[in-house]
Amino acid sequence: MAIRKLNRKAQVNNETGLATNTALSGGRFINRDGSPNVEVRGMKISQRLNVYHALLTMPQWKFLLAVVTFFLAINLLFAGIYLWIGTEHLGGMVANSRAEKFGETFFFSAQTFTTVGYGRINPIGIAASFAASMEALTGLMTFAVITGLIYGRFARPRAFIRYSKNALFAPFRNGTALMFRMVPYTKNYLVNVEVKVTLAMRVVEDGQTKNGFFNVPLDIAKATTLTASWTLVHVINDESPFYGFKKEDLQNAMAELLVFVQGFDESFANTVISRTSYSYEDFIYGGRFLPMFHPNENNTSTILHIDKLDDYEPYVLPEFEERQKGDQ
């Protein structure tokens, strides 16, 4: 099998914290968005569910949808309570039909929940007053939590980095290198940036197929600042874990490139991290990235085209040319 052709000079990385037994893992280790490709089972939902973390990290549209859904649900609940107590215990109501009464109680609930209290409708009696006071307390606590969540989502340190869709085997210094590039897409510029890359692949040891992890040294792994696109380059030489591998070999070994980025964000005044991965399906065997920045008309500043992050041109590499002809 092709996975036996492992370069023995490649440096093994035993610090990934990932499983080495192939039989106990499936698919890629890290998704493209940086999240671990792991399904958690065997725990109660109450133990597994972290509401605060979910609300803090979910996409913005989901967060807004959750807030609106909760607002509607809690007001429907209290509107039902007021209807159960009786609309005669709500002074100032002018509704006659059931639908109008439900509308009146719902909007009275919304006014009480938000502590707006326009004053036209007011609770009468102990039961209605107690329900209104409990709703007002619930509203105060809810808005305190939501305010904290909004601040946490707004101020939570994160690395605003985009990665190229593919990793390319490209010509480099009269040889071949594996390249991918990344770019910051907001004004949150990073300083003291460090990138670590690991190759995960299936290898055969003592007649057993296992997951192997190998360091992928970069031509430049550290940068003082990250303000524009950065092409990460791994030179393929006799010490590279890719040395001697062809397209079919990487496919058979289910190769996956794990990328870890760490830097200091000046805006957050905190260290941020970012992760992604490239599987063998994301590799382009022969190509060169196209430039994505150029000087402006007056040559006084640099124009960066984020939308050109994935652009590349095909390039035939001798080590892949024969195999590619055979594939066709």
Position 113 scores a pLDDT of 93
pLDDT tens, 154-163?
A: 888 888 999 9
Residue 81 or residue 47, greater confidence = 81
Backbone phi and psi for residue 70, each to the nearest 5 degrees, phi listed first: -65, -40
Cβ-based neighbour number of residue 232 at 10 Å? 22
* CB contact set of 262 (below 8 Å; sequence gap of 6+): 193, 194, 195, 196, 271, 272, 273, 274
Q: What is the structure's pLDDT at 44?
A: 76
pLDDT of residue 218: 95
pLDDT band at 2 (very low <50, low <70, confident <90, very high): very low
Ramachandran angles phi, psi of 285, nearest 5°:
-95, 75
pLDDT of residue 5: 52
Predicted confidence (pLDDT) per residue in 111-125, tens digit: 999 988 787 888 899
Q: Where in the chain is the domain with CATH 1.10.287.70?
A: 46-155
Q: How many whole angstroms separate alpha carbon 246 and alpha carbon 286?
A: 12
Confidence category of residue 25, pLDDT binned at 50, 70, 90: confident
Q: What is the pLDDT of residue 214?
A: 92
Predicted local confidence at residue 326, as pLDDT: 41
Q: Is 196 helix (H, G, I), strand (E, B) or coil?
A: strand
**More confident position, 326 or 202:** 202
CATH fold, domain 46-155, is Helix Hairpins (1.10.287)
Provide the pLDDT confidence category of residue 266 given band limits of 50, 70 and 90: confident
Measured in whole angstroms, how far is the alpha carbon of residue 228 from the centre of its chain? 21
Q: Which amino acid is at 53?
A: H
When pLDDT is averaged across residues 6-30 and rounded to a whole number, the result is 75
Q: What is the pTM of this model?
A: 0.78
CA distances from 22 to 6, 29, 163, 199, 249 (A): 16, 11, 28, 15, 17
pLDDT surpassing 60 at residue 328: no
Contact 247/287 with Cβ under 8 angstroms?
A: no
What is the average pLDDT score of the chain?
87
| pLDDT-wise least confident of 15-19, 113-117, 177-181, 313-317 | 15-19
CA atoms within 13 A on the CB side of 5: 16
pLDDT at 42: 78
Question: Where along the chain do the CATH 2.60.40.1400 domains lie?
Answer: 2-39+158-327
Assigned token pair, 240: 């590279």
pLDDT of 154: 84
Q: Which two tokens stand for residue 148?
A: 């904290």
What's the rounded mean pLDDT across residues 119-145?
91
Q: Tell me which CATH code domain 2-39+158-327 carries.
A: 2.60.40.1400
DSSP for 123-182, please give it: E-SHHHHHHHHHHHHHHHHHHHHHHHHHHHHHH-----EEE-S-EEEEEETTEEEEEEEE
C-beta of residue 174 within 8 angstroms of C-beta of residue 318: no
Tokens, residue 110: 């919304």
The pLDDT value recorded for residue 3 is 46
- Which whole number is the average pLDDT over 237-265? 91
